[in-house]
Amino acid sequence: MKPVVVFVEHHAGTALRASLECLSAVRSTGRSAVAVVAGPGADQAALTLGRFGAAKVVCLTDAGGWSPDAVARDLARLVGEHGADGFFAAASSTGKDVAPRVAALLDSTLFGDCVQLAAYDASFQVVRPWLAGKALATLRSKAPVFCATTRPNAFPIAETEASAEVVRAAASSDGKAVVVAVEARSGGKLDVKEAPVVVSGGRGLKGPENFHLLEELAVAFGNAATGASRAVVDSGWRPHAEQVGQTGKTVAPQLYVAVGISGAIQHLAGMRTSKVIVAINKDADAPIFKVADYGIVGDALEILPALTRAVKDVKSRK
Ligand SMILES: Cc1cc2nc3c(=O)[nH]c(=O)nc-3n(C[C@H](O)[C@H](O)[C@H](O)COP(=O)(O)OP(=O)(O)OC[C@H]3O[C@@H](n4cnc5c(N)ncnc54)[C@H](O)[C@@H]3O)c2cc1C
């Protein structure tokens, strides 16, 4: 069987969780995966990828600045050089930037944000949400190279003792767009797309001054990011980086806690594939309860401190 190419992102040499999930998902189909890492720190990230399913790792030596179009050209070239019939990446911001370019260069089509991946005949089959998550579409491709991105947190990571051959290749240096500087704005906090637990707040929190209650709950969990509805982002209560939904980020954490969020269709589009959903709302008829696994009807300003205390209590007993 032909191999497939998987684009693996990393931050300063640590592979992104979403990329490892993508790699594991590809490996679970029985295919041999060629992982490609690029940019400063790629060497370090490359060493770990055999454990997550890569049979071979190609390390693109730094071309001096990140360029999505140059990396896309390198990836398309590597697909050809390896005779691969699949290209996969995580549906992260970078993956969403790079993967469509790769698919276009390969004259293929891209299935974005997939939540299931399986072998089908000699190729693949994916499932991805449609209509803001109201339907799930099962898709196959007739293109010679199957291209897809996988939704973060939708696939488990499988780690083994295996190792991979690591080779170096020169990266293209003629990108049209080049990122010359990146300034971190989140203050080191977990991103909603990556975090296994997301605690999101809506207009029911009444004002920006009450969001510390949500942050305290996130700290109590220890592995949680804070999210927000668009209403509170538009009001300037929270940064856009935290917005979950159709015009924000799509998340699929193990646990999503929606606090004072009504559950508009545009919000559900970004979180309805979360594994467990907990809703806190004072209105028992709020639409969010229709997708929630657990619901608490009451005033968020009273419930949040009690919930934070309870989480701390459980954690302290472990
Ligand atoms: C094109 C388009 C794109 C959009 N994209 C997004 C998107 O990406 N993400 C998004 O979130 N929205 C998006 N929206 C907006 C969306 O339609 C809703 O307006 C928005 O999600 C509502 O935010 P909310 O739930 O915080 O506020 P509201 O709808 O005002 O709901 C507040 C909720 O808080 C509850 N509440 C009030 N007080 C308390 C209390 N003390 N304790 C507990 N609960 C309380 C209320 O019962 C209510 O259910 C989009 C809209 C459009 C048209």
Give pLDDT tens digits for 18-40: 999 999 999 999 999 999 999 88
Residue indicated by tokens 């697909």: 79
Helix count (H) and strand count (E) of the chain? 9, 17
Distance CA 295, CA 255 (A): 13
Q: Quote the pLDDT of residue 113.
A: 94
Q: 237 CA to middle of ligand 1, Å?
A: 13
Q: Quote the pLDDT of residue 7.
A: 98
Q: 36 CA to middle of ligand 1, Å?
A: 40
Decide whether any atom of ligand 1 lies within 6 Å of the 264 Cβ: yes
Q: Ligand 1: which of 210, 226, 262, 274 to mutate, most ligand atoms within 8 Å of CB? A: 262
% helix, strand, coil for the chain, step of 5 = 30, 30, 40
- As a whole number, the mean pLDDT across the chain is 94
8 Å CB contact between 29 and 124: yes
Q: Quote the pLDDT of residue 40.
A: 84
Q: Supply the residue whose CA is at minimum distance from atom 48 of ligand 1.
A: 262
pLDDT digits (tens, 9 = 90+) for 50-90: 999 999 999 998 767 789 999 999 999 999 999 999 999 99
